[in-house]
Structure 1
Amino acid sequence: MTEDFYCEEVLSGKTKVNKVLETDHVLAYYHTKPFYPVHIVAIPKKHIPSLITLEEDDNDLLLELLGVVKEVASMVTKEKGTCRVITNLGTYQDSKHLHWHIVSGKPLKS
């Protein structure tokens, strides 16, 4: 896996995605290799390595990102009745780009 799948593949256009919601600074799309029946990823278009590396200058972007996460989570909850919102840090974070997973359903079998 690349160090930053989101910049290198998704935001560059190399990997095509099914968009759910997009703003000037944030993209939410269906995961390319879902782990759940509903698996949406929300990312900032600016490279930020993780939640704990956010700078004070990123506060407006974080609010916009969380607004998109909230809107997508509301859509999923309305349709499915439930969802989870997840972000990973450290070694749990495969791609070193801040991202949130909005998921619903039981994990898919590998």
Structure 2
Amino acid sequence: MQPYTGDDFYCDIAIPNPTHLNVVHEDDQVLAFHHTRPYWATHIVVVPKRHIASLTTVTAADESTARRLFEVVQTIAARVEQTHGAAAVLTNLGNYQDSKHLHIHIHSGPRNT
């Protein structure tokens, strides 16, 4: 895969091309996959398929999508916790958010070097 230089990897690359990813979960609203450049030993990204810019831009109109997103995050995080004994869940905002699309990281284990 070519290096990505845009500002929404998820809308531009991941969601339209899930066959290029190591998918953990996919349904009509949510895609979850192993990060393409993992920072941790286990690193899964969960994204809504419909564009939502970030956690701080979620509105009442996004309720169904946000609810489904968090259901999937909860299920995958529980599986990671059960498998590895621990899990962390995080999202980034503002300048910390490289891709301007709401995405949630689920990770466990040491940070990759």
TM-score by structure 2 length?
0.92
Select the residue among 91, 97, 100 that pairs with 1:96.
100
Q: Which residue of 2 aligns with 1:56?
A: 60
Q: Alignment partner of 2:46: what SS? A: strand
Contact 1:50 1:89 in 2 (8 A): yes
Are 2:73 and 1:69 aligned? yes
- Equivalent residues, number: 109
Distance in 2 (CA, whole Å) between partners of 1:89 and 1:81 is 27
Query: What whole-Å deviation, never above 9, does each CA across 1:55-83 have from its counterpart, x for those lacking one?
Result: 21101110100000000001101100000
SS in 2 for 1:37: strand
Structure 1 moving runs of 4+ over 2 Å: none
Aligned-partner residue type, residue 23 of structure 1:
D
1:22 to 2:29 alignment: no
Q: TM-score scaled by structure 1?
A: 0.95
User: What displacement does 1:14 show?
Assistant: 7.9
Q: Percent identity?
A: 45
Larger CA deviation: 52-61 vs 85-94: 52-61
Gaps of 5+ in 2: none
Q: Could you tell me how far apart the structure 1 residues matched to 2:6 and 2:86 are? A: 32
